[in-house]
Structures are given as C-alpha cells and as structure tokens.
Amino acid sequence: MEDARAALRRIFGFDSFRGVQEQVVARVLAGQSTLAVMPTGAGKSLTYQLPAALLPGTCVVISPLIALMHDQLRSARANGIAAAALTSADADWRETVDAFCNGALDLLYVAPERASQPGFRDLLNRGRVALFAVDEAHCVSEWGHDFRPDYRLLRPLMDGFPGAARLALTATADAHTRADILEQLGIPQEGMVVAGFDRPNIRYAIRHRQSVPAQLAQLMEEEPGPGIIYAPTRRKVEELAAQLERQTGREVRPYHAGLPVEVRAENQAAFVASEDMVMVATIAFGMGIDKPDVRFVAHAGIPKSIEAYYQETGRAGRDGDPALAVMFWGAGDFVAARQRVSEVEEARQKGEHKRLAALAALVETPACRRALLLRHFGEEPPPSCGNCDNCLDPPAMVDVTELARKLLSA
C-alpha cells in the first residue's frame, strides 16, 4: 500500500499532517478502531478520507446533515476520491448502489436514520466495507449536546461487519461524553486520540449587553474582515441584519432555516467568497462551512452551552491569523434559558442545568476565559493566556470584605 504521507501529497496536496491526524490515520490503516477528538477545523475529514482512498473497499460515513454530506462530497470528488451519498436529495441511487457493489466507491455517505434500517445492512453485505466513519459522534450520547437516537443503532449495524474498523469523530466531548461514545460505539478505551483544544489566535471577550446593535456596529467598524454574528431567533437575525447594514454601510446578510433554500445557498456562497461580508445567523449556519479567513464571531446572546460556544467561535481564524470571539450577554438570557430547560423532559433536565451552570461560570469568571474553556475539555491550561479580555485587562476586583467592614462600622 502507498505510504500515507505520499498519499497525503498526491491526493490532497498537503505537505504534512496536522497534529494528531497522522496518529489517527495510522491507527485506521492498521484496522484499529479509534475515537478522534479534534477541534473544529483541525481536519477530521481527512482522517477517514485518506484511508478510504488507500484501503480496499468502501468507507461508510455516517453524517447527521445532508448539507454537510454534500459539502464533503464536493471536496472529496475535487480530490479525485470516488464518493457518493444515499439521501433523499440524491437522484443517482441506482448508480451509487452499483458502484458500491462493484467496489468502485471509496466513500459512501449516509444519515444515521437510513444506516439503521435493515435494508442498509443488506446493501452493505453486497459490497465490501473497509471502514465505518461516524462523524459528529457526540450525537450518540445523551450527555452530548445534540443527542440523535438513531446513532444508538449504529453499534448493532457495525457489529455485523467485524472486519471493518470504526472511526468516531467529534470536536466537542467532555470526559463523560467521550466515555459514553466509546461504549455506545464499541471502541476500546485505548483507541481514543485527543488533540489539543487551544486556539491561541482567537481572542475571547465576553461583555454585558447594553445596546446590541450599537455594540455590534462598533465591532464591525473595528474589524473590517468577514464575520459571523449569531442571534437567538429568526426575527432577531433579520432585524439585526437590516439594521447593521444601514448603520455600518457594510454588506450584511441574514441566514436562518426559515429562509428559502435558494436564498440560504446564495447567502452562504456569497459569504464564503467575500472578504468583508458579515453574516447574521441562527446556529443553523456554520456546520461544514469551509472559510478559513473569518475574522470575528459574535454572539448577540448566550449560546446553548460551552461546547456550542467553542464550536461556534471555532469558526473564526482557521487560517491561524488573529481573530475575535465576542459575546454580548444579559442576565435575561439565563432566565430564558432556565425557563426552556424546565420545559424539556425530566430525564434531560439535570444535564441541561449543568451545561447552563458551566456557561454561567465562563460568562462570570474574572479569570482567564481560555483557561476555563480548556479545563472544560480536560486540558490543563497555562495560568494566563494573554489573549482574552480578562488577561489583557483584568477586571477591577471590589474587595467586598473591606466594603462590608466600612458599611458595618459606619
């Protein structure tokens, strides 16, 4: 078999692996099941696409979103990898099935809902499965932030193909979720590879909300490059986009799941191609978007969790150049979030409350934001990062004991 490094150059045109990519690829090529925990933008796709191109047989990729699959399809095909998907949006099922059965496919993308159907197992038995890649693997865990019950049915499917290694991939997994992924997908403990989570070029800042439009307009004046602003609702997205465009004279577009598909696609394409556009969006925007030069990510309200915050802010500065992550929050955000938690099914409330408490700690800490983030992901941080609001400009600490003494003695 061709050497992995040579294949990296030939297929992808890259000179070297990044971080733990090499370790993950080596394990997969050796047929060892693996859980790769790597930050967003670290290059997880390559860790199964490269083995898929080298190993005899097909790599079956479980992916939660059709849009995500199609982005991956395009980029894999652009690299000359034979890839196809079986989704409701694909018309060429017949060809795909034939190609799979003839061993002509490197990658076969499928959603968990389809993978878990009995017909899919029958199909797989008609070809050769080299590898299972489970993308966004935290969806298998109730502890993760995007639980998808159908991920639980992947284990029985994969158990039917003992010759195929399993590669689970996620960017966002605390210790609890990781352990759960290993168990739910049947990957041995020693199969876990964790990359560093630090994104040193991102400057984190978290501020009280005064007037969001004014604060965002100011941010946009200071930072002329491409940016993403996350807003909590579709209505807020549209209001903010219009208002900010008027106020700043910059190109600003909205993105949310309520817009027609064509409008979404057009706005997304315009954003990816632009050097100065700002996208105001709900969290429907971002997954699978490959734009390395996003200079800022702003949150106009609190995100859902630390995991979500890390993933969303992680879309800034993938090119390694300086980038900003700014959150504007108000106490009302937590009140509303607690209200929402009280409405979810009881079994999930405890986990959701823990997630909110962790987020509150990040928002309220007077100490290093990065340290808190990294510790959350089980990484031991340096004492001060020098690139977050609290390290650069330590908040004035009121000495409450001194104050109390004065008040009492007055």
Closest residue to ligand ADP using C-beta atoms: 43
By CB under 6 A, residue 170 contacts ligand ADP? no
- Euclidean distance between the first and the last CA atom of the chain, given in angstroms as a whole number: 83
* Residues listed for the chain: 410
With CB under 6 A as the contact rule, the residue among 5, 14, 117, 384 that binds ligand ADP is: 14
Beta strand 192-194 with 296-299: parallel, antiparallel or unpaired?
A: unpaired
- Please, what is the minimum distance in Å from the beta carbon of residue 330 to ligand ADP? 31
- Please, what is the minimum distance in Å from the beta carbon of residue 13 to ligand ADP? 9
Q: How far apart are CA 134 and CA 60, in angstroms?
A: 8
With CB under 6 A as the contact rule, the residue among 11, 17, 85, 333 that binds ligand ADP is: 17
By CB under 6 A, which span of 11-19, 221-229, 275-283, 362-370 interacts with ligand ADP?
Answer: 11-19
Q: How far apart are CA 227 and CA 39, in angstroms?
A: 20
The torsion region of residue 4 among left (phi > 0), alpha (psi -120 to 50) and beta comes to alpha
Buried b (16+ CB within 10 A) or exposed e, 46-64: bbbbbbbbbbebbbbbbbb
By CB under 6 A, which span of 33-41, 116-124, 267-275, 371-379 interacts with ligand ADP?
Answer: 33-41
DSSP letters along 154-189, please?
Answer: HHHHHHT-TTSEEEEEES---HHHHHHHHHHHT--G
By CB under 6 A, residue 44 contacts ligand ADP? yes
Instruction: Extract long-range pairs of 68-73: CB within 8 Å, 24+ residues apart.
Output: 68/135, 68/287, 68/288, 69/109, 69/111, 71/288, 71/289, 71/290, 72/45, 72/107, 72/109, 72/288, 73/107, 73/109
User: Which CB atom, from 133 or from 374, has the smaller least distance to ligand ADP?
Assistant: 133
Which one of Mg ion, ligand ADP, none interacts with residue 290, CB within 5 to 8 A by kind?
ligand ADP
With CB under 6 A as the contact rule, the residue among 2, 3, 9, 18 that binds ligand ADP is: 18
- Please, what is the minimum distance in Å from the beta carbon of residue 44 to Mg ion? 5
User: What burial class does residue 153 get, using C-beta atoms within 10 Å of its C-beta: 0-12 exposed, 13-18 middle, 19+ buried?
Assistant: middle
Total site size for Mg ion, rule CB under 5 A: 1
By CB under 6 A, residue 40 contacts ligand ADP? yes
With CB under 6 A as the contact rule, the residue among 46, 59, 302, 327 that binds ligand ADP is: 46
User: Which CB atom, from 160 or from 320, has the smaller least distance to ligand ADP?
Assistant: 320
User: Which CB atom, from 14 or from 147, has the smaller least distance to ligand ADP?
Assistant: 14
Q: How far apart are CA 360 and CA 372, in angstroms?
A: 11
CB 18 within 8 A of CB 42: yes
By CB under 6 A, which span of 10-18, 23-31, 102-110, 231-239 interacts with ligand ADP?
Answer: 10-18
Q: How far apart are CA 302 and CA 314, in angstroms?
A: 16
By CB under 6 A, residue 73 contacts ligand ADP? no
* Residues in contact with Mg ion, shown as a per-residue x/- string from 7 to 46 under the rule CB under 5 A: -------------------------------------x--
59: which strand partners?
A: 107, 131
By CB under 6 A, residue 168 contacts ligand ADP? no
Q: 3-class SS at 75?
A: helix
By CB under 6 A, which span of 24-32, 42-50, 211-219, 237-245 interacts with ligand ADP?
Answer: 42-50
Binding footprint of ligand ADP on the chain (CB under 6 A): 14, 17-18, 21, 38, 40-46, 290
Binding footprint of Mg ion on the chain (CB under 5 A): 44
